[in-house]
Amino acid sequence: MSSLSRSQLLQSATAFCDVFAQKKDLNVILSHFSTTHQVSAVEHGEKALAPFLGRSFEGLDGIRAYFETIAALLSYEDMEFSEFTVDTEARRVACKGKAKFTWNQTKESWDEMFAYLLDFDDSGKITHYQVWADSGAAYLARNGQLDKIRKGES
């Protein structure tokens, strides 16, 4: 496993996070994924809660499908990333993100903290993209129940 420096891994991770936060074109987002290694995206959570949760999207076509699904169902604003932790031996970067998300169909919104774990190839391109997020808020917003719960209604 050839090594990338801490600064190279950090630059690759922040560049990806920046283009996602800035809502760049999907092809720009996909350009941060490896074309020489198998790639995957997983947003951890219960599959039944949302179509993008709890399954692995494999290959560049799968990664495209994941981000297209996210874009069709959710919008976001004020996305920021912080607390980047770099593991040069594993070629892995973890970070914390925050944003305001809206479920497009119901227009219900929530502020969310989430975590990314990004694995990289020897060229600094993402091979494995993992997300841990507030799937409960997404599910409630999807079903138009989040605002009712906030108001103490059931």
Helix (H) or strand (E) holding 3: none
SS3 category, 14: helix
The alpha-carbon radius of gyration of the chain (Å, integer) is 16
Q: Determine the average pLDDT of the residues in 139-151.
A: 93
> Which pLDDT score, from 0 to 100, does residue 110 have?
96
Section 37-41 average pLDDT: 98
Q: How many other C-beta atoms can be found within 10 angstroms of the C-beta atom of residue 142?
A: 20
Query: What's the Cα-to-Cα distance from 33 to each of 63, 101, 102, 113, 140, rounded to whole Å?
Result: 9, 24, 26, 23, 31
Higher pLDDT, 1 or 50: 50
CATH class held by domain 6-99+111-133: alpha beta
Q: Does the pLDDT at position 15 exceed 80?
A: yes
Burial 88-125 (b: 16+ CB within 10 A, else e): eeebbbebebebebbbeeeebbbebebebbbbbbeebb
- The pTM of the full predicted model, rounded to 2 decimals, is 0.94
Query: Where do the domains of the chain lie?
Result: 6-99+111-133
| Contact predicate 32/13, CB 8 Å | no
What is the three-class DSSP state of 86?
Answer: strand
